[in-house]
Amino acid sequence: MTQHHPQDQFDEVPPYADGRIGKHRAAAPGAEQRRGGAALRWVTLLAAFALLVGAFSYFVLPRLPEGWVPIAGDDAAEQQAEPAGEASGAADGESSGGESGEGSSGGEGSEEGSAEETPTAADTETPVQIIDAGLPEGGLDDVEAQLAEMQYNVTSTASWEDSWGEVETPVIYYPSGQQEHAQDLAEAYGVETVEENTSWSHVALVVGDEQAE
């Protein structure tokens, strides 16, 4: 049979609330404890992820083929390969261009050298005559051969007469109207003195014993 006791001060206890500890009650988990548990879970997940990444880097990456690109795959590999190919192509182009440039410059140099050795007459039709004013034996034939190689139109040869007076060789005499032709011959043969003389009907190259030097 249930006994009823009169209400006293112990019956006026407020309802149970979180965090309140009674004599015979354990403390309920509070908000701080719940937050601490969540943080601990995140730390555990991050640690596990770091371990996975470390294991992947140590065991898997060394076994991947060289040049392997994650995610992008072949496209990224092609993008990396293209600049290298273009660079090698440019280098080949520069190399071949440099060689061809050297070859062309060498060709130009050889042409210039040959032009300096055997210049060609600007006028191959206007007559030129050679006057021997003391050439060594066979010298007249040598001068005539040189002018013929330069394509000058040598029409006659002669010896300098004493009656013509003294002459300092080499010298080129030319009649009126043929100065340009005389200057061209002087530059080609290397004569510094060029004079107009109406006694001559054609350009005359007068050479002497200087040819023996």
CA–CA gap between residue 124 and residue 188 (Å, rounded): 13
3-class state of residue 176 by DSSP: coil
pLDDT at residue 72, rounded to an integer: 47
CA distance 67 to 73: 10
Measured in degrees and rounded to the nearest 5, phi and psi for residue 65 equal -65, 150
Domain ranges of the chain: 127-212
- If you ran DSSP here, which 8-state letter would residue 164 be given? G
Q: Give the pair of three-digit tokens for residue 11.
A: 């019956």
pLDDT one digit per residue (tens) for the chain, 213 residues: 556 666 666 666 666 555 555 555 555 555 555 666 677 788 888 888 888 877 777 766 666 556 555 554 455 445 554 554 454 554 555 544 444 444 444 445 445 544 456 889 999 999 999 999 999 999 999 999 999 999 999 999 999 999 999 999 999 999 999 999 999 999 999 999 999 999 999 999 999 988 655
pLDDT at 78: 52
CB atoms within 10 A of CB 184: 19
Q: Which residues of 147-178 are buried (b: 16+ CB within 10 A; e: fewer)?
A: beebebebeeeeebeeeeeeeebbbbbbbeeb
**pLDDT for residue 49:** 85
Q: What is the pTM of this model?
A: 0.47
Q: How many CB atoms lie within 10 A of CB 75?
A: 10
The answer for residues whose C-beta is within 8 angstroms of residue 153's C-beta and 6 or more apart is: 121, 123, 124, 125, 126, 127, 128
Task: Please give the CATH topology (third level) of the domain spanning 127-212.
Answer: Alpha-Beta Plaits (3.30.70)
